[in-house]
Structure 1
């Protein structure tokens, strides 16, 4: 893995080099106007006398103010709040047997990438910790042009046809009469729409699960959502689904914790990604593919073209074919993260589309939205969007054109310019669309194979661990509890009863409702005006799978603490050996340690050494850390025991099921907590792995057990029976 060098420079790749001519550093040069005039006074406008009116003649003022007035571009309609990073993709094995895509054939090449993560519903100023889908868009700068894999952290979507996308977004956005709530789906219009669209049910299970509140952008999966095609050199087509598997595992936060983080640090995910890359703890994902031969298109009990369905990994295993490493933060957020333009239609030879009706609509939408957001048709010339290969075509002019084209001709064919630029033969890398045979009537309709709306939603619920199921019930109860229209709540409970009666019963109880014996009819309102509702009713399909391990986070990677943030609570008189032994062990294991004290500056240890303080209780919060340790030291323990913020810090960490450790001497601090009655008597490894609590006098052994506990991420089993009023 590439690291920063001793001067702190980030590793270079071809895209980094390509951006350098467009990068301006602060070099101590003199100030100028936009056209190069050296400025003598940037502090005062030109006036008619020292106390007189400002003169229209002041062209320097007008240029400065005009540019400022136009600094903001329209934010994205969806995915407005995002974070980005540069990196590289490296292929493990050639995929030449199924695709002629060059970057998926040559294992010796590093393909530069730029990735943008985002939330969907909120504005640019909303919180990172909203319950929401996360965008996961990757731009590959390949030798054959840019390939954009524009996906999400969930493998399915709300709707089956792009015709309904504006309706979905209008429903989930703040309600138009009062513009509330921001970045939240817990309101009437969203659930009104969802309760009338049973095709959304599978996605709702994902959205209400812990997948919607990831611990970190570095700890979530990514999915291409749609079914694409791989095309090999012989023209043979295979269907393909794309996956990103994080090497840190898939982890989440608790919903109560997410709400607290939104108040303490709404930039939590953005800051986490930036700090990890700056520290050299580069995020990594493996690219996986599920490949289905064309001959097997109809072998499943779901339709491959239905974006509300996934292919269970038990039916088609995910082949991990390469690794993506994010190793460089952007130099300028606006120029790169904000101006990057992804397009699902940016493909390369060897990759093509399927007839997924949502995918087909996105092919139009992306170009259309970039035209208005980035000011015109030349958004591809913005440095972050430029491919590494030369762009040659007969497109000309328009807003902000960067290329200065020479020559007489801008059309083809032509004889005055040697017919330049010329078309490229397919054998030489020219793109040709897959020649799919089509013999059909023009209709506005959906296939009957799209009408199973509940079997995969049921598969998802069945696959969750008990804590995950509890969180799912709580999330549905919370969201529907925010809905003011009782009829919408009742209708939604009816939909849930078609997924799982037990789930529906528990949600209904929380809402003060009964599960209806007869679900409201017609259940499906996504039908043509002249359609017969009976023809559009969801069908019940008995799935071959009852459970799928890949749909639960319970068995995700839990074998390291790389980049995890651990709080050490300390005050004057702390036992330096107790603190430093555990701190050193955590850092050696890849963790990040912050010493937190009643005041900033430093604490004086019992041995008179000085220990720097990273945060005070005023600026720190347990929700910003993965685990907590309390070292020994008589005076330190006495101070923390009487410090309400320290006791609250521990209570909240316990409530959110985090690992907690304390030196034997610090037992007095733990005894001040609400959970002191739950402290175990046995602190063997087995008990530590069950409860996530560590206590001991041997600092080295304690550190080892603590690291083992932190690597487990959370101890959700302690959540329900021991609710803590933190």
Structure 2
């Protein structure tokens, strides 16, 4: 790329200079008559590239903003994990962050009531560490087979191509999959519409293992905004959707441009294997939190955003994040949603960006990469390992192997004897699924937000079918009888 003080010479993609980028070659001597020539490479390449310059949109998390930054270790974590990027107070690592809405398409208003996805790539000396979190600590399902249906239920109606109130949250899908009630309580509280990316928290939701040579602990990860939490009312969000639909992107970009760099503090909740075996809730259930009273937050480090993308498509749209991207010292647990996401996310990236998406600059590790058994494929632009053997256990090229993860049956972190045998099952909704949502309703009462919550639910529910409305009211009655009755009363006033 030419520097700012050098005037570039215009060329085509192969480097050949062209005198005028606006010309088209014709037969004859008239600028308005005559046929266009197939030999006009400039015209053909310009048209052909234009038709292909859009890549497949993400099925979910399509609309996003992002920026570059750094992560700095602020506390000693060596007793919890051997991950090098988390060890050594003052240790810094480059970060790429992408924050998105979930359901809407690209270009949709950013002030919708929706979960915000948090894709964070940390470039470490041991490879990339990806964290793919949400801005709410729980999720709507715990069985991965339901994940596609959950997201389809939030999309447009397949016949009308219109948003459908009988399918969208919290209606038909959630009425029949009520394990997500705690997530719904948060989404329809005042936290359901963040005022900006700078003012949201981020949560792993999934349970991870943190490993050392001496064993492991289970952990949930939190990033809390040092700017504090700020949210929009439904009326404010509606106004901004019309006046400035890209409000969140603009807010983040402008803050970084003026040097107002947002920061987040990373915390861990840590649980021992012994505690996991006897804990009240299934620690692999993504619809449940670990109360801070049982497992206090432990500070780890701080993340700061300090550089805007040079080019949005290059840096953010082509970025790919996956929970499967883990460095030594961090390992997957038996969390079923985490296990499924570890396949689904890189598979989506291979479809969207191609099999060699990890070579794109926004995804490429800063550490050395040697993967001679993953070769060829579209856009393989480096040496492709030359003549090194492309099959395992060759006698012609010595290779050093490190770590204990592989086909020897070793599972990172241990404790698999507690997890149990492989089996197919689907979890059932019980009264336990409503306990934490009930506590959330009490918290809203303490902050005088219960009326806002009822208003938000009723506003979204009023256009649904009567049957769906009744099912939703009954669902919220399981949280609290007054809550269900209040929603019913507000709905009746709209009739």
2:104 alignment counterpart: 122
Aligned position for 1:250: 229
Unmatched tracts of structure 2, length 5 or more: none
Q: Distance in 2 between matches of 1:300 and 1:209?
A: 28
1:176 matched to 2:158 = yes
Partner residue, 2:393? 413
* Number of the residue aligned with 1:499: 479
Identify the match of residue 105 of structure 1 among 87, 92, 101.
87
2:316 maps to which residue? 337
**Map 1:147-546 → 2, pairs under 5 A:** 147-181=129-163, 186-190=165-169, 191-234=171-214, 236-374=215-353, 376-394=354-372, 395-404=374-383, 405-416=385-396, 418-420=397-399, 422-426=400-404, 433-438=412-417, 440-446=420-426, 452-464=432-444, 465-483=446-464, 485-512=465-492
C-alpha distance 251-437 of structure 1, shift in aligned 2 (>3 A): same
Match among 39, 55, 61 for residue 73 of structure 1:
55
**Aligned-residue offset at 1:130:** 0.4
Structure 1 position 360, deviation (Å) = 1.0
1-structure distance, mates of 2:8, 2:430: 63
Distance of 1:160 and 1:135 partners within structure 2: 17
Q: Is the 8 A contact 1:100 1:232 kept in 2?
A: yes
Other structure's SS at 1:348 match: coil
Distance 2:317 2:109 in 1: 17
Which residue of structure 2 lines up, in the alignment, with residue 42 of structure 1?
Answer: 21
**How far does residue 226 in structure 1 lie from its aligned partner after superposition?**
0.5
Cα gap change, 1:450 to 1:38, in 2 (>3 Å): farther
- When residues 468 and 326 of structure 1 are mapped into structure 2, their CA distance, relative to the original with a 3 A threshold, is same
Map residues 641-652 of structure 1 onto 2, 5 A cutoff.
none
Q: Distance in 1 between matches of 2:2 and 2:83?
A: 35
* Higher RCO by CA contacts (8 Å cutoff, separation 6 or greater): 2
SS at match of 2:132: strand
Residues 71 and 450 of structure 1, relative CA distance in 2, 3 Å threshold: farther
Secondary structure in 2 matching 1:154: coil
Deviations 1:331-377 (A, max 9, x none): 00000110000001000111111111111111110121111111x21
Tell me how far apart the structure 1 counterparts of residues 26 and 430 of structure 2 sit (CA, whole Å): 70
* C-alpha distance in structure 2 between counterparts of 1:503 and 1:451, whole Å: 16
Q: Displacement, 1:188?
A: 3.8
Secondary structure at 2:277's aligned position in 1?
A: coil
Three-state SS of the structure 1 residue aligned to 2:65 is strand
Shift of 1:251: 1.2
Q: 1:290 to 1:373 in 2, by over 3 A?
A: same
Give the deviation of 1:41 after TM superposition.
2.1
> In 2, distance between residues paired with 1:432 and 1:498?
40
User: Per the alignment, in what secondary structure is the counterpart of residue 337 of structure 2?
Assistant: helix
Separation in structure 2 between the aligned mates of residue 341 and residue 381 of structure 1, nearest angstrom: 11
Out of 90, 94, 113, the residue aligned to residue 76 of structure 2 is 94
- Counterparts in 2 of 1:112 and 1:408: CA distance versus 1, 3 Å: closer
Structure 1 runs (4+) deviating above 6 angstroms are: 448-451
TM-score if structure 1 supplies the norm length? 0.64
Change (3 A) 1:130 1:224: same
**What CA RMSD, in Å, does the superposition of the two structures yield over aligned residues?**
1.9
In structure 2, C-alpha distance between the alignment counterparts of 1:187 and 1:72, rounded to whole Å: 32
C-alpha deviation, 1:412, in angstroms: 2.1
Where do 1:530-569 residues align within 5 Å? none
Q: What is the aligned length?
A: 480
CA contact (8 A) 2:210 2:413 kept: no
Structure 1 CA distance, aligned partners of 2:103 and 2:18? 43
Contact 2:65 2:98 in 1 (8 A): yes
**CA distances 1:272-307 after superposition (whole Å, capped 9, x unpaired):** 000000000000000011011111003432211100
Query: Where does structure 1 lack aligned partners over 5 or more consecutive residues?
Result: 1-22, 514-726
Paired residues of 1:477 and 1:510 also in contact (CA < 8 A): yes
Q: Does the CA-based 8 Å contact 1:74-1:373 persist in structure 2?
A: yes
CA contact (8 A) 1:187 1:479 kept: no
